[in-house]
């Protein structure tokens, strides 16, 4: 199953926001039993962007340590995956390319298919590297998940970015062929161009996700993929962490396995630690699961990890990766923890202000208040142009 020439994730770095809203605060405000959040959906808190943070500032913050470690010279392509795009025409990746001072000889593009797009970006990156093994591709997944306030989706908001360097002889994860893929035209979650917040049919979206788990696994096995027993762990897209458990039970049931909760926890337990406190980060979510797994697991060298990437609408992909020898020396565990722990708690009123602030201005010139202590910020909107700066 392993590829002849190993290609995969050579480095992975994450970033999230300045602020965090604990679910205890949301529960107290709306009178919900906090057990519904902590146990029912499996979420403790959600990342909340400052007024001067967005997918670009988070994406650049995630990618900067990768450029600092490896340099930018081998990177000829940046693929920016997002579903909370800030422009209908220009790729958010171009702002990141500029903020990081990368060479002009680079192609930059933005990809969209709800939460799935980062996996498309990873697979396209592998294709580019296979064509030209000297090339490295920078994949950035960055999203702000925003639903209407006082809606059922509100408790599943969040924001984060993951940057991955894709190349040959990867230090972290070798991505294998084959992939199992699945597409179905469903309206479970969508965001028309005129809306800042997503529309969702919650129960339909859970059903569509579960159907996609079966569909992508079925295709994976038909393509000659590994058997379920071979996997040490599974990284699922986690709109809320309990969804990974629902999905894995569905997979075990579909494969005719007993639902052994102890085994399920062994497969998933470590993958939820970052998503549980960050919330839904859409495209980044499944790769936050990978970061949490690698950061916390005992030695996974040579072990197979299953990835299930789901994006509403809907597209899903199941694929496997094997963990590379010596991977632990390349992890960013302390920096990842710091990115999460440095967030400042906000109260409910402040969270509401920030939720409202992100609506687009009327096109007039607008100085954005300086709030973030992260490395990059959105400083202003001038003549309909976004102005970013390094802090």
Residue with tokens 């960013």, as numbered in its chain: 332
Q: Hey, what are 94's tokens?
A: 């171009």
* Stretch of 53-61, 124-132, 205-213, 368-376 contacting ligand HMG, by CB under 6 A: 205-213
Which two structure tokens, joined as six digits, stand for 245? 């458990």
Cβ 42 to ligand HMG shortest distance, Å:
9
CB–CB of 235/307 below 8 Å? yes
Q: Is 329 assigned a catalytic role?
A: no
| Residues 157-186 close enough to bind ligand HMG by CB under 6 A | none
The DSSP code for 256 is: T
Residue 276 marked as a ligand binder: no
Based on CB atoms, which residue is closest to ligand HMG, 127 or 152?
Answer: 152
* Contact present, 147 and 355 (Cβ < 8 Å): no
How many angstroms separate the CA atoms of 78 and 139, rounded?
Answer: 6
Q: Is 237 a catalytic residue?
A: yes
**Which one, of 235, 246, 253, lies nearest residue 205 by Cα?**
246
**Catalytic one among 18, 97, 110, 115?**
115
> Residues 309-348 vs ligand HMG: string with x where CB under 6 A?
-xxx------------------------------------
DSSP 173-230: EEEEEEEEEEE----SEE--TT-SS-EE-HHHHHHHHHHHHHHHHHHHHHTT---GGG
Q: Which is nearer to ligand HMG, 156 or 168 (CB)?
A: 156
Q: Rounded distance, CA 232 to CA 223, Å?
A: 21
- DSSP symbol at 133: T
Q: Binders of ligand HMG among 19-38, rule CB under 6 A?
A: 33, 35-36
Nearest distance in Å: CB 180, ligand HMG:
18
- DSSP for 304-331, please give it: EEEEEEEETTTEEEEEEEEEPTTGGGG-
Taken in order 157, 384, 190, 58, is the CA torsion positive or negative? negative
- Beta carbon nearer to ligand HMG, 280 or 322: 280
Q: How far apart are CB 302 and ligand HMG at their closest, in Å?
A: 30
Site string for ligand HMG, 85-114 (x = CB under 6 A): -----------------------------x
Torsion of CA 39, 40, 44, 48, to 10 degrees: 180
Supply 7's token pair: 């290609």
Q: For this structure, is 10 an active site residue?
A: no
Q: Which of these ranges, 174-182, 222-230, 304-312, 369-377, lies near ligand HMG under the rule CB under 6 A?
A: 304-312
Query: Strand 376-382 and strand 385-390: pairing?
Result: antiparallel
Task: Count the site residues for ligand HMG by CB under 6 A.
Answer: 29
282 assigned ligand-binding residue: no
Residue 243 engages ligand HMG in binding (rule: CB under 6 A): yes
When binding is defined by CB under 6 A, the residue of 6, 27, 40, 106 that contacts ligand HMG is 40
Q: Which residues are catalytic?
A: 83, 115, 237
Please state the residue numbers annotated as binding site: 33, 147, 246, 280
**Contact set with ligand HMG (CB under 6 A):** 33, 35-36, 39-41, 83, 114-115, 152-153, 155-156, 188-189, 200, 202, 205-206, 209, 237, 239-240, 243, 280, 282, 310-312
């Amino acid at each position: 199953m392993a590829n002849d020439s190993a290609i995969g994730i050579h480095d992975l770095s994450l970033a999230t926001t300045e602020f965090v809203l604990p679910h205890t605060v949301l529960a107290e405000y709306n009178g919900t039993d906090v057990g519904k959040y902590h146990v029912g959906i499996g979420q403790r808190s959600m990342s909340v962007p400052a007024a001067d943070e967005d997918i670009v500032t988070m994406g650049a913050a995630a990618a900067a340590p990768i450029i600092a470690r490896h340099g930018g010279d081998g990177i000829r392509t940046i693929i920016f995956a997002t579903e909370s795009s800030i422009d209908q025409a220009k790729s958010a990746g171009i702002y990141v390319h500029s903020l990081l001072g990368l060479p002009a000889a680079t192609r930059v593009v933005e990809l969209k298919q709800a939460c799935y797009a980062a996996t498309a970006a990873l697979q396209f990156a592998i294709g580019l590297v296979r064509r030209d093994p000297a090339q490295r591709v920078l994949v950035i997944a960055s999203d702000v998940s925003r639903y209407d306030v006082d809606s059922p989706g509100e408790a599943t908001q969040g924001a984060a970015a993951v940057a991955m360097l894709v190349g040959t002889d990867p230090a972290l994860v070798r991505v294998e062929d084959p992939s199992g893929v699945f597409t179905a035209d469903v309206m479970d979650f969508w965001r028309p161009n005129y809306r800042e917040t997503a529309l969702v049919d919650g129960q339909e979206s859970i059903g569509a996700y579960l159907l996609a788990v079966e569909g992508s696994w079925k295709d994976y096995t038909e393509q000659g993929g590994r058997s379920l027993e071979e996997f040490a762990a599974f990284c699922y897209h986690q709109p809320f962490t309990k969804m990974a458990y629902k999905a894995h039970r569905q997979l075990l049931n579909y494969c005719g396995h007993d639902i052994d909760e102890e085994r399920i926890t062994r497969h998933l337990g470590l993958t939820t630690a970052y998503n549980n406190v960050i919330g839904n980060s859409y495209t980044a979510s499944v790769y936050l699961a990978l970061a949490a797994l690698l950061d916390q697991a005992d030695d996974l060298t040579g072990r197979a990890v299953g990835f299930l990437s789901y994006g509403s609408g809907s597209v899903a992909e199941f694929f496997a990766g094997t963990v590379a020898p010596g991977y632990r020396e390349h992890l960013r565990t302390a920096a990842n923890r710091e990115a999460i722990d440095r967030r400042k708690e906000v109260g409910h009123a402040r969270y509401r202000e920030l939720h409202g602030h992100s609506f687009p201005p009327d096109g007039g010139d607008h100085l954005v208040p300086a709030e973030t202590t992260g490395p990059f910020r959105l400083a202003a909107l001038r003549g309909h142009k976004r102005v970013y700066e390094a802090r």
